[in-house]
Structure 1
Amino acid sequence: MTKSDNTITLKSTFLILHFFDLLLIFIPFTESSIILGRSINLIKIGAIFVPVRNVETAIEWYKEKLGLNHVGTWPGNTGADFYFTVEKQYLSLVKVEEKQEIEFAINAKHYNAYYNFTTTDIEAYHQHLQLKGVEVTEIKDHGPVMCFDFYDLDGNMFGVIVDK
């Protein structure tokens, strides 16, 4: 723990439990700052930004296919804001001239989306997207999670996951 200028910082620590020389649990304890008696932490992602070439068409796609709540369009149709659920986690569309990649290469044959959405029923949501005509991959079992990817009309890839 360090202290300077009315700021106390608790450094990150990790709890690692070993059982017969096997690593069983790795639990990060996040850094927490206390400034003027108030705890300051990041608590969630406020928004993600998705590049699209046609904002008007993308607005309708995200409303119809994903059921997102459209809350506003930016001046000059340069972007649009949506939110999920009562927590109002935002997804913003941003108009771009050319396609931008929102996935990264793991190797020459496999790509991973930067963004994963969560759902309560992966099979039902997978079927919902298929019925809406959205391009989806097969559902895969990755141990603690099940997942699939889907693509928007600009070819942006997103993942959908559910914890088992």
Structure 2
Amino acid sequence: MDGVFMPVSDLTRSVRWYTEVLGLEIRHRDEPHAAVLKIGQGLPALCLVQSGGPLPAPFPPNRYDVTHFFNFKAADIDAVHSELAARGVDVSPIYQSDALRYFGFQDPDGNGLGVVN
């Protein structure tokens, strides 16, 4: 996978949030249309796209309780959960399913995101 595209209503606000709150780095900016952010050491990249219309696109109801389109991977999920909460992000509790631990949160547009260990 090369990139994940995320619609946003205010590109400047979203770039600030994804860099300051999540710590992602800017790879490329194409103001006022899009910004490409680095996720970890390689690919994929996250491309924030200035969009009009209704946001966010809801994840369809399902029996797996998935509410978002992708997860970030974290070595220390407890530390990430605490850090996001300290930065004012409304994080869900950490859930566990077998050996997998995970939690969810939303960006300023309400796009659902998740973190897994």
Q: Taking structure 1 as the reference length, what is the TM-score of the superposition?
A: 0.66
Give the one of 87, 110, 114 matched to 1:155: 110
Following superposition, which runs of at least 4 residues in structure 1 exceed 6 angstroms of deviation? none
1:68 maps to a residue whose letter is L
Query: 1:130 aligned to 58, 82, 85, which one?
Result: 85
Aligned residue among 94, 103, 106 for 2:59:
103
Q: Is the 8 A contact 2:56 2:110 kept in 1?
A: no
CA displacement at 1:89 relative to structure 2: 2.6
Would you tell me which structure has more strand in proportion to its own residues?
1
| Bigger relative contact order (CA 8 A; separation at least 6) | 2
2:39 maps to which of 77, 84, 89: 84
Preserved CA contact (<8 Å) 1:104 1:113 = no
CA contact 1:104–1:114 (8 Å) conserved in 2: no
Q: Which runs of 5+ in 1 are unaligned?
A: 1-44
Tell me whether 1:119 sits opposite 2:61 in the alignment.
no
> Structure 2-normalised TM-score?
0.90
Q: Sequence identity of aligned pairs in percent?
A: 28
Aligned runs of 1:6-155 on 2, under 5 Å? 45-74=1-30, 76-98=31-53, 99-101=55-57, 103-106=59-62, 110-155=65-110
Structure 2 residue ranges without an equivalent (≥5): none
RMSD between superposed Cα atoms in Å: 1.5
Return the offset for 1:111: 4.7
Which amino acid is the alignment partner of residue 107 of structure 2?
A: D
Rg larger in structure: 1
Contact preservation (8 Å) 2:9, 2:51: yes
